[in-house]
Amino acid sequence: MTIQIIPAIDLMEGQCVRLTQGKKESKVIYSSHPVEVALKWEAMGAQRLHIVDLDGAFSGRPQNSNAIQDIRTAVSMKIEVGGGVRTPDDIRKYLDMEIDHVILGTRAFQDRKWLKEQVDLFKDRIIVGLDAKGGMVASQGWTVTETMPATDFARELVTIGVESIIYTDIARDGMLTGPNLSSLSRIAETIDIDIIASGGIHAIGDIEKIIALQKPNITGVITGKALYEKTLDLKEAIKLTSKQ
């Protein structure tokens, strides 16, 4: 089993920021030059980059397309982008930019028929962000906790034809307290499609614990704040997972 380490760039007004548990008021700006950050992660060995348009997530439409285009032009690694993607035109715009994967979140949950149409049309270019709080689905930029268990939604995604999800425990996101291993394991046992884990990564030991779960469908781990705060060394994490 090889788990890919995926550094994250969260964009607000063209700047690299991090939020704690998705709260706007917790914003910390780490760089005003996202292209430089992306180039740094690529130089350290990253083969895939996770970008979230936070302005888009909160407003419901993409807001940082220019910054994302600049990053795409600068790096050769694969890129996945989410945040405010609500229409087929939004998806096409990113794919036309040569973005490799587009992440669907809120609308994917709210409109399963629409989601199936996008999956049928764009196939494995679509990733669904499954965000959870207390085991329940969270939506609308994590501002609403739904009444559906995350495991039930995960099963629906499989029947729709989704091939990959990003599973985020939002209570852990940006907290540097370690991932929620029990909920991650539960999701991995519930479905057999690819799962990218997100939320709570603090240090190399957290990567080791995810590897130790021995869930072959956990194919990636997203990390953001730990890299910016230097509690996790990206090169070390990539070296560790490349041995698996």
CA dihedral angle for residue 230, residue 100, residue 117, residue 196, rounded to 10 degrees: -30
Query: pLDDT confidence of 175, banded at 50, 70, 90?
Result: low
State yes or no: is 194 an active-site residue: no
CA neighbours closer than 13 Å in the CB half-sphere of residue 178: 10
Domains of the chain with CATH codes: 4-242 (3.20.20.70)
- Give the separation between CA 40 and CA 75, rounded to whole angstroms: 10
10 a catalytic residue: yes
DSSP state for residue 62 in the 8-state scheme: -
The pLDDT mean for the chain works out to: 92
How far apart, in whole angstroms, are the C-alpha atoms of residue 119 and residue 46? Answer: 27
Answer for the pair 42, 72: CB distance below 8 angstroms, yes or no.
no
Residue 220's nearest CA partner among 233, 207, 231, 234 is 207
8 Å CB contact between 125 and 119: no
| Contact indicator for 91, 63 with CB cutoff of 8 Å | no
Find out whether 236 and 212 touch, Cβ atoms under 8 Å.
no
What's the pLDDT at 142? Answer: 58
User: Mean pLDDT across the stretch 227-234?
Assistant: 96
pLDDT in tens, 55-92: 998 898 999 999 999 999 999 999 999 999 999 999 99
Of 55, 90, 131, 206, the active-site residue reads: 131
The backbone region for 174, taken as left when phi is positive above 0, alpha when psi lies in -120 to 50, beta otherwise, is left
pLDDT at 98: 98
- In order of 71, 126, 165, the CA distances from 198 in angstroms are 21, 17, 10
Whether residue 200 has pLDDT greater than 80: yes
Percent pLDDT > 70 in the chain is 94
The pLDDT tens digits for 16-55 are: 998 876 778 788 999 999 999 999 999 999 999 999 999 9
Indicate the pTM of the whole model: 0.94
- The pLDDT of residue 48: 98
